[in-house]
Chains A and B, each alone.
Chain A
């Protein structure tokens, strides 16, 4: 939905972003989130994770440890996977963000209702139980494939080590990723 108005974030005033910004100020930034350009006012201490969940109602991205240890908050920033809990939103001004809600809109399926191939593969391979880590696992899987450094099962396992799954669905997650990678190679 292009042209959506800026998200209303409380009632504080919008200030110029000329440095230094006083500690009570909000800063105007632009993010393209799941293909949609958003003009936002954020306090500098707002993490990308809190912005997504608390202000934009994009609650697919999960807060697990909030310290970069579990990977539940993984999103793609300009196609690269990062921990959104350790990212200040203000520092990503101008970036393209993809969350789990936007994965289906990536690539050649844009505009259709189809899931992203990795989402289909997770269902096919039973790659989750409780599902809490899954949005992070999915974004991390897409990031891994974008990076293109992991080829073998061992390499996939190592490259996914930043995503913890307490249900222990690891082997099925690796199966799902391998499946999509092989499909892309075919």
Chain B
């Protein structure tokens, strides 16, 4: 690990003021410290934000405000989250380990970096780590990589489970920075790689996530988080599906669907959501939506399997959501 200055901030303003080129904010540290050990991150200064008063979970305008420093465990086991946003709870508990969830923060979960092998290996080129150096994942070992929204510069995926649920729940990210405060809709928070894969998000330099706001609960019963991975626990998703449905009898009133493990950000297809709305909640409707989504998939040399896996996961996820039988967190058999 490189040497760095350590600053402990007492207020958001202090944290923002301490920021400069080469500085990083640190909260849970579970991803940043790991990346520092691999010398992927070499900050000149760490700004410790763990003492900021941002770890609360509060009811706010019919929804819930998750403080940026609330740990993943605190959010997952909050009674209000369990009652009104079980999709978020299940997504968080599908990821990482208990130890990591006890340390990792809400804001940090949004800002975690890809687990692309080449990004992590400082001995190889990587456009995300070193812009312009190339992408050996294209044509290389790319079984875990993107099938949607990738570019010639980068085919990495975003690793979070929590963010897939937040995309489906249409959360809003509140940030504070040198330019003041602003709110970013979740779908605009993360970026597709394009020509600038070094930028994971649309945060400006020195901006800090203050809270993640959940709108009024819409899917307390008819939801699922279905995560498919190489082993049943403690592994990143190959494909995951966060689904929430509002039903009127057997008719779909609202559908929200986000996919994880398949793109540089949680992947939503609003056409497919619109297609489902007004349709009967049947497997035929679900297949139609799934076909529409995977029609624009572009596989890499080793991950063609993800297209059929995603198609089936979408259908199964929507079936689970419609039936109100979300994927179990401990019994991993897929019903």
Residue A167, interface by CB 8 Å: no
With known contacts A20-B18, A22-B5, A74–B99 Cβ distance under 8 A: yes
Chain B residues within 8 Å of A, Cβ to Cβ: 1-9, 18, 26, 29-30, 33-34, 36-37, 44-46, 48, 50, 73, 77, 96-100, 102-103, 233-234, 329-331
Nearest CB of A to B78, in Å: 12
What residues on B are CB-neighbors of A19 within 8 Å? 5-9, 18
Q: Could you jot down 17 A-B contacts, CB within 8 Å?
A: A23-B4, A44-B6, A71-B97, A74-B99, A80-B102, A81-B98, A86-B33, A88-B29, A90-B6, A90-B48, A91-B26, A143-B99, A144-B98, A154-B330, A159-B98, A162-B97, A162-B99
**A162 touching B331 by the CB < 8 A rule?**
no
What residues on B are CB-neighbors of A149 within 8 Å? 77
The complex places the Cα of A163 from the Cα of B3 at a distance, in Å, of 30
The 9 A-B residue pairs with the shortest CB-CB distance in the complex, in nearest-first order? A162-B97, A44-B6, A161-B233, A19-B7, A154-B330, A23-B3, A161-B234, A20-B5, A162-B99
Nearest CB of B to A24, in Å: 7
Choice from B2, B45, B50, B329 contacting A20 with Cβ under 8 Å: B45
Residue A119, interface by CB 8 Å: no
* A 1-41 to B, binary, CB cutoff 8 A, 1 in contact else 0: 00000000000000001011111100100000000000000
Choice from B30, B34, B37, B98 contacting A140 with Cβ under 8 Å: B98
What residues on B are CB-neighbors of A47 within 8 Å? 33
Additional A-B contact list (11), CB under 8 Å, known A68-B30, A71-B97: A23-B5, A24-B3, A80-B73, A86-B29, A87-B103, A91-B50, A140-B98, A143-B102, A144-B98, A147-B98, A157-B233
**A153 to B, closest residue via Cβ:** B330
Nearest CB of A to B183, in Å: 29
Number of A-B contacts (CB under 8 A): 107
**A155 touching B4 by the CB < 8 A rule?**
no
The complex places the Cα of A23 from the Cα of B98 at a distance, in Å, of 32
Chain A residues within 8 Å of B, Cβ to Cβ: 17, 19-24, 27, 43-45, 47, 66-68, 71, 74, 80-83, 86-88, 90-91, 140, 143-144, 147, 149, 152, 154-155, 157-163
What residues on A are CB-neighbors of B34 within 8 Å? 67-68, 86
**B29 touching A17 by the CB < 8 A rule?**
no
What residues on B are CB-neighbors of A91 within 8 Å? 26, 29, 48, 50
**B27 to A, closest residue via Cβ:** A91
With known contacts A19-B18, A20-B45, A162-B234, A83–B30 Cβ distance under 8 A: yes
Nearest CB of A to B103, in Å: 5
What residues on A are CB-neighbors of B2 within 8 Å? 45
Nearest CB of B to A22, in Å: 6
What residues on A are CB-neighbors of B33 within 8 Å? 47, 86-88
The complex places the Cα of A23 from the Cα of B330 at a distance, in Å, of 45
The complex places the Cα of A68 from the Cα of B38 at a distance, in Å, of 13
**A81 touching B99 by the CB < 8 A rule?**
yes
**B103 touching A82 by the CB < 8 A rule?**
yes
Choice from A143, A152, A163 contacting B330 with Cβ under 8 Å: A152
